[in-house]
Amino acid sequence: MRSNTDTFPAIPQVPPPPPQAPPRKKRLSGFKKFIIFLLALGVVGVFAAIGYIAWAEGKIERIPAEELVSLSNLSTPTGTLNILVVGTDDRSNLPADWDDHFGQFAGRRADVIMLAHMLPGERIQLLSLPRDLRVSIPGAGTNRINAAYVVGGPDMLVRVVQQETAIPVHHYVEIDFGGFGKVVDSLGGVTIDFPYPSRDAQSGLSVEAGTQKLDGETAVAYARSRHMQIYKDGQWTGSGGGDIARTGRQQELLIQMFAQVTSPSSAFNLPGFLPTFAEQITADEGLTLGLMADLARQALGLDSRQIESATLPVRGTSGDDGRSYVVPTDEAPAVIDAFTNGTPYP
């Protein structure tokens, strides 16, 4: 037995654990940082692009829905949307530095009448209607189709186009001479091949043979030309074709402009093209930002070789009123059916 004076061995003291170091932050590799930067840049770019397109869309002059009641809500067999594209001869928007080859006419008439639709992933189809096509205009009797615009504006023209072709028209876009020229200039011009020197004293066209870059004024002169001459075998001679050849030239211009828009070489022109295009057109209220963006996305998946164009087959005739007209031939129904059903033209 131990006495109170006995001592016990000392209990060893356990040193406290060392303080834990704060968790180390994982360092991102340079590659991961670059990926995150690209993703962030992409997000900013998307919202910037949406804002830019919305800003550009705000420049479009809109036709109120109550003034375009004839637009169709009927679907097509292919589910495509048909757009009536109209070029007017309004002279009020002509640039001051353009030469005077337009004459003095007040008001505006439908100078170009063209239907268009897109078959996603396949092609774009264009169908031109000659402006001298004989039609029946409600409340105004027999006249040329371009008179429908004068009688009742865009709505009457839409009504008559649907009446005469049985093609539903879902949207409407209009541009005048000056506006078309400005759009061409915003693209840096449009390239057209001329086998021979060509001229038209009435429209102001004058070009040499070969591949020519047309500015806005010359492109309008080419689109308007109804009396084009070519220099061949040492003399000037009429190129022939009249108004039908003219619609072909209009389609050619649109196809080449499409090629310009989708070409990588035109990328620097696109920021100027989009607001210029929006500012120069008039459209129905239903042609919204979302719809235009979707159509543009589909179009960018095609190239100019996938654009199929035709003019309604017609022949000349004289009316009881003494005026000259054109009327559909027996081949016209097959062309209309092909457009309606989205099948290749016969």
Task: Write out pLDDT tens, residues 126-174.
Answer: 999 999 999 999 999 999 999 999 999 999 999 999 999 999 999 999 9
pLDDT of residue 71: 97
Evaluate if residue 284 carries a pLDDT over 90.
yes
Q: How far apart are CA 218 and CA 116, in angstroms?
A: 24
Listed by start position, the domains of the chain span 53-193+243-341
Angle, vertex CA 220, rays to CA 167 and CA 115, nearest 5: 5
Non-local CB neighbours of 217 within 8 Å, separated by 6+ positions: 95, 98, 99, 181, 204
pLDDT of residue 217: 92
Q: How far apart are CA 303 and CA 82, in angstroms?
A: 19
Q: What percent of the chain has pLDDT over 90?
A: 53
Evaluate if residue 346 carries a pLDDT over 70.
yes
Q: How far apart are CA 88 and CA 85, in angstroms?
A: 10
pLDDT of residue 22: 58
- What is the residue-averaged pLDDT of the chain? 84
Ranking 157-166, 264-273, 311-320 by mean pLDDT, the lowest is 264-273
Q: Which tens digits make up the pLDDT trace of 168-211?
A: 999 999 999 889 999 999 999 999 999 999 999 988 999 999 99
pLDDT of residue 304: 84
Q: What percent of the chain has pLDDT over 70?
A: 80
Ranking 89-93, 100-104, 212-216 by mean pLDDT, the lowest is 100-104
* Chain center to CA of 129: 18
Q: Which two tokens stand for residue 7?
A: 């001592």
Would you call 224 helix, strand, or coil by DSSP?
A: helix
**Nearest by Cα to 295 from 171, 113, 167:** 171
pLDDT of residue 344: 94
Q: Are 212 and 198 in contact (CB under 8 A)?
A: no
pLDDT of residue 47: 44
CA distances from 273 to 182, 184, 256, 312 (A): 9, 8, 15, 31
When pLDDT is averaged across residues 337-342 and rounded to a whole number, the result is 96
* Topology given in CATH for the domain delimited by 53-193+243-341: Aminopeptidase (3.40.630)
DSSP category for residue 133: B
Ranking 32-46, 83-97, 121-135, 241-255 by mean pLDDT, the lowest is 32-46
Angle, vertex CA 182, rays to CA 249 and CA 62, nearest 5: 95
CA distances from 177 to 26, 91, 94, 236, 275 (A): 63, 7, 7, 27, 17
Evaluate if residue 8 carries a pLDDT over 90.
no
Q: Are 144 and 164 in contact (CB under 8 A)?
A: no
At position 95, the amino acid (one-letter code) is: P
Q: Which tens digits make up the pLDDT trace of 222-253?
A: 998 988 999 999 999 998 778 888 899 999 99
